[in-house]
Amino acid sequence: MRKTSILLFSIILSLVFQSCNLIWICNNTTYRKKTAHKYENQIPIKVEELKTMLYKDTTHYKVVIIYSPCCGACGSHMQTTFKRMLLHSDTTVKFYFIVDDCGGIKYNEIFLQECGIYPNKMYYFNDTFQINKGNNIVNYLFPTDDKVTGELGVPMSLIISKNNKLKKAMISIDYGEEKRQYLKAMPLYYLSSYDFDKIDFDIIDIEPEINWDICSRNEK
């Protein structure tokens, strides 16, 4: 009887935690990759395909959000910065929500719903950009001499002009014992207004010290 009670309690506790996103695990395993096709409402996309899709669109500003449903920092930014920007931007801005690999797509729809975000399409990356992933993705999408070095985890937010220039910024990160300055895609929360026409995409801004909570690949 005692063992049955303990088992029942464990099951209930697990369900409660899972409902709070506390024990979701988004490991990009072979099994997750093989079963990804079951989630028919989510679209696999390679970085090369994303680049083609972005560059074909010269009538909209674009915002690409790359995230993981198992990252607490992603949830925080979704419910604040990203949600506000989505709600207040006009029809000249197109948003793309992309899970960073196959590991999180099982939870993606409920994650977005809990954040109050209902995109027309849900994407997930299905490619081999794994080592130094964030920087490689951004530098492939927007090849220039000034390479991005500060994409160290998720969430990532890419602000893109109508003619497909990435808004960049030099931002310092305080590691306690030292501060390091990185060139990165300017995080969405640095925008001073919802008017994308006011953004100068030709200037690399120097922004104040960042307190940008992220999840590295080992922390999801």
Domain count, the chain: 1
List per-residue pLDDT tens for the chain, 220 residues long.
555 554 454 444 344 334 444 458 888 999 999 999 999 999 999 999 999 999 999 999 999 999 999 999 999 999 999 999 999 999 999 999 999 999 999 999 999 999 999 999 999 999 877 667 899 999 999 999 999 999 989 999 999 999 999 999 998 887 778 888 999 999 998 898 999 999 999 999 998 766 667 887 544 4
pLDDT per residue over 118-176, tens digit each?
Answer: 999 999 999 877 667 899 999 999 999 999 999 989 999 999 999 999 999 998 887 77
Which residue range forms the structural domain that includes residue 157?
A: 27-206
In a domain, 20, yes or no: no
The answer as to whether 11 is a domain residue is: no
Report the pLDDT value the prediction gives residue 202, as an integer from 0 to 100.
Answer: 96
Distance set, CA 150 to CA 85, 134, 184 (Å): 22, 8, 5
Which residue, 125, 119, 205, is CA-closest to 168? Answer: 205
Residue 78 belongs to some domain of the structure: yes
What is the pLDDT at residue 25? 86
pLDDT at 58: 98
Residue 217, domain member (yes or no): no
Residue 73's pLDDT is what?
Answer: 92
Cβ contacts of 217-220, under 8 Å, gap ≥ 24: 217/133, 217/153, 219/71, 219/153, 220/26, 220/68, 220/70, 220/71, 220/103, 220/104, 220/154
CATH code of 53's domain: 3.40.30
Q: Are 86 and 117 in contact (CB under 8 A)?
A: yes
